[in-house]
Structure 1
């Protein structure tokens, strides 16, 4: 009975969080692929201003866009605290704490150094061969708060995706007694799925990253290094966005 309830809990959590995002991403790639314009000639815009002509109201929208996506993280920590609570508590069990900062930073920056270069190379390759859109990751109007908001969004993405897709899912799945390779694959497929809005390159790249993150988590038993790696990847993508057209031009030569 307990295993049955936990698995239904997983389904509900995914349905109201990143699983839902995956469904919308599937619809998005269908829409993009049925356009007359080739996929690599389309642009996917991220981090857009809501009301660029009113900076303070736009800032309020951006803050809301950072805070509310984190509610699934609050939800899973709450559920794990009150229902089938792990012996060490939810945060400590998944390694979402500040107990080992040097360890977390070393692993986080190390994995970032490898995945960052490989990921950028694969993105450029995917656009070149026509299986991905051109991603424009930073489209906020220029304001004093633009960089802080982009940094906050990067960290938000890291916390949301790694705590839910790895820390929570892997902990709950282990509590059900399921085989861990199953959740490694499932988590990676869902991760790739909610990046389909970028194109097939986004799906493949994030599927591979999800498999690598899942394998690493099973070895080190801490989600914080993954949060750091993911945040760094998005920080570089968001703040380095002006360099992407230059790189694309170099690849196209």
Structure 2
């Protein structure tokens, strides 16, 4: 389903004429600002959170972190907070697409052209299985040996809108991460003349960094996910399967936990 032949040395890309010093500086500033506004700042915050957790007494596995939480005891206010979080992620993705468009890379050129429903869905399902199942095992092992915190996917109160909000959050999170961390970052690093392997590694390191608040194991697991997703995009220039795969992984985690936590005693 997913062709992995030849992934070690991607084809060389021709991305325009050489940059002058001013253009290079402008792209570096642009990347820095985008990352500080989005996932780069999240990565720094996650590193600080991991250091704090490691300095506390006890194992990381004895500590708990919730991914989706309620922000108000008032249902309608809590819903509005959730909508704002979803809109923030959508804005991050839109920012990446806008800057790529301004640079001459419209949505079609970064893999968001007309969807190929059957192919994109099948490859998205394949990527979700490739990442999701080993990822769950990686988390359980990491938690058992004390490298991960105990992750609670959702503690949102039981409202009629809880499941739709979690699904919307999964899609928004998928869009923001894959557009910024894969399409935007690798494209702009490519324009700076960075090799495909180096840009892939930086993209994967960024993805791993902002998951470190869940523990060292989660950081490593997401770094590996970043290597697979980034290389897939470099080789196929298709972003839709990544969006589908990431959204499916998050939906299974968020909604599955919410529906099963009262029925499975081993869930936190």
| Fold shared, TM-score > 0.5 on shorter chain | yes
Aligned to 2:244: 228
Secondary structure of 2:151's aligned partner:
strand
Q: CA deviation at 1:69?
A: 2.3
Q: CA deviation at 1:121?
A: 0.6
- TM-score w.r.t. the length of structure 1 is 0.91
Structure 1 residues 248 and 13, CA gap change in structure 2 (3 angstroms): farther
Q: CA deviation at 1:61?
A: 0.9
Aligned to 1:79: 99
Q: CA deviation at 1:215?
A: 1.2
- Which deviates further from its counterpart, 100-109 or 143-152? 100-109
The partner residue of 2:37 within 3, 8, 16 is: 16
- In 1: Cα distance, 2:114 partner to 2:156 partner: 32
Size of the aligned set, in residue pairs, is 245
Is the 8 Å Cα contact of residues 127 and 134 (structure 1) preserved in structure 2?
yes
1:88-237 maps to which residues of 2 (within 5 A)? 89=106, 91-237=107-253
Aligned to 1:64: 84
Q: Give unpaired runs (5+ residues) of structure 1.
A: none
Structure 1 residues 222 and 36, CA gap change in structure 2 (3 angstroms): same
Q: Give unpaired runs (5+ residues) of structure 2.
A: 1-19
- In 1: Cα distance, 2:87 partner to 2:149 partner: 28
What RMSD, in angstroms, separates the aligned Cα atoms of the two structures?
1.8
Is the 8 Å Cα contact of residues 69 and 154 (structure 2) preserved in structure 1?
yes
Deviations 1:197-238 (A, max 9, x none): 000111010011001111111111111111111100000010
